[in-house]
Amino acid sequence: MTETAVQIQVFRWAGSWGSFSVKIPCGECALTTDIILDTLVNELEGVPVALNVREWLSEWWAPCASAAGTRPSSSSTAGS
């Protein structure tokens, strides 16, 4: 049985769209990516995980298309 890698997508504050572009590097984005990479190397060694770091402004529509950031439906909340 082959294991499927867990997919993690991090959208950092970067990129461009139309006439808009992010020109200031995001320190928090770099720190978040470093923490995730450190965790993958030291805590999750041997666990199949695929990290994909993307530019938010260049792909602003991707989280919307996958319904990321939406609240859980009422049928899946505890205590219902």
Report pLDDT digits (tens) over 14-67: 999 999 999 898 899 999 999 999 999 999 988 999 999 999 889 888 777 766
Query: Is 48 inside any structural domain?
Result: yes
Query: Is 76 inside any structural domain?
Result: no
Terminal-residue alpha carbon distance, the chain: 37
Query: Is 19 inside any structural domain?
Result: yes
For residue 37, the model assigns a pLDDT of 94
| Residue type at position 27 | G
Query: Is 73 inside any structural domain?
Result: no
For 31, the domain range is 6-65
Please state the separation of Cα 12 from the chain's center in Å.
8
Return the higher-pLDDT residue of 59 and 68: 59
For residue 15, give Cα distances in angstroms to 6, 68, 77.
25, 19, 36
For residue 80, the model assigns a pLDDT of 45
- The domain total for the chain is 1
Query: Is 79 inside any structural domain?
Result: no
Q: pTM, whole model, 2 decimals?
A: 0.66
